[in-house]
Structure 1
């Protein structure tokens, strides 16, 4: 492998929402290892600070920001904090999301419905449009939306989440059209990953399902999304925009 094939993010500024745990944390550490500086955003500031400390120990700059990106004004405050600290954002990763448990569809009241749609769809819209325009006015950039295979294989237990992620997929393609050629907008569509959320799963039942319905016969490891995000953020993906990359182990 020659040097030109190695992804180097030195000098890049990356903003990751939901960056304090799970896939977000793994991507944040992966980008730091590749040389990037990070803005780590999530609702819980102490968790952001912990990840920022890990990144700074690697010799990179990191800004922790406590922000609930389901709220329009907090998206704006996050954007201003990022630009105040670094002067630009080169890569935006909309990773924050939620999929609450419920027994039946009518248990989804208006408040829960709004929470799911706001976090999974409204927040990425606000961040992508404002930062996307600033990227266009500057040196360009890359936006990566973290969706879910629920967007294309919805089930009864993720109705609002699946609807929001389907909307996120559509928005990804639309924003790629809106902000090209200087800003690329792509999506990652993960399947079942063994992050901290999987601690609440019945793992025997999950393994039985994996044996029957996942080609790889297992759940994904969190760091197995990182390389895809690095590729989509880098110049190696210079002709890739409006793409949705499914990473689900061959689930069906």
Structure 2
């Protein structure tokens, strides 16, 4: 972390998997990225053009540190990409934690950093939700409920901050399998989409770059799920 920022693009959950790939891609595109990570920076520490900030976004005190840092050091903010996420089994404790990360943190940061967003010539807020938020999940009720709340934040903030700030959701389906997923699980999961392959981070990168350049998109959801919703409709 350095002591000077110009017009950063903030990416949360930036040190692993899709978040890391997105951070690298945005840096290559010339964006000044402030990469927020929860624990170890991992490969972020090796990226010369990326600034980093450690914060556990489930913790209000850590969020306040991030907010204070940006209010002190940034002239304005190009955007916030809320990618931080937790994938946990259903329990009351996990519901609270995922609520803090998926809903409370984006709400807190969006509200507190609005003055810096409004100072930028063009600013975007992008919420990375989940395709399952549109249809629920009997196996991950807490996860999908909190992601649905994140998607709903888009509608309210888009209306509140228009026309200065564009606010949108990206709702991905399967992108990358977990390292411990079995071959049986992978094969069954791939069959749920019309495009039955593991796409990696590229669909998210494509969607983010589209939204950052789009002139007439706000309050919208960009779904990147390989046609999975049509499979579900067919089986209904």
Using the size of structure 2 for normalisation, the TM-score is 0.88
Equivalent positions of 1:1-252 (< 5 A) are: 13-47=8-42, 50-54=43-47, 56=48, 60=49, 62-102=50-90, 108-109=91-92, 111-194=93-176, 198-211=178-191, 213-234=192-213, 237-251=214-228, 252=232
**How big is the shift at 1:27?**
1.0
8 A Cα contact 2:118 2:165, kept in partner? yes
Whole-Å Cα distance in 2 between the matches of residues 37 and 138 of structure 1? Answer: 13
**How big is the shift at 1:138?**
4.4
State the aligned residue count.
224
**How big is the shift at 1:15?**
0.5
Partner of 2:3: none
8 A Cα contact 2:7 2:74, kept in partner? no
Gaps of 5+ in 2: 1-5
Gaps of 5+ in 1: 1-10, 103-107
Whole-Å Cα distance in 1 between the matches of residues 21 and 226 of structure 2? Answer: 18
8 A Cα contact 1:187 1:245, kept in partner? yes
Which structure: greater helix fraction? 1
8 A Cα contact 2:166 2:217, kept in partner? yes
Change (3 A) 1:91 1:239: same
Whole-Å Cα distance in 1 between the matches of residues 196 and 24 of structure 2? Answer: 27
Q: What RMSD over aligned residues (CA atoms) do the two structures have, in Å? A: 1.8
**How big is the shift at 1:28?**
0.6
- Aligned-partner SS, 1:225: helix
Q: Deviations over 1:61-106 (max 9, x none)?
A: x22111011222322211232344443221110000112135xxxx
8 A Cα contact 1:220 1:248, kept in partner? no
**How big is the shift at 1:201?**
1.4
Change (3 A) 1:83 1:233: farther
- Aligned-partner SS, 2:104: helix
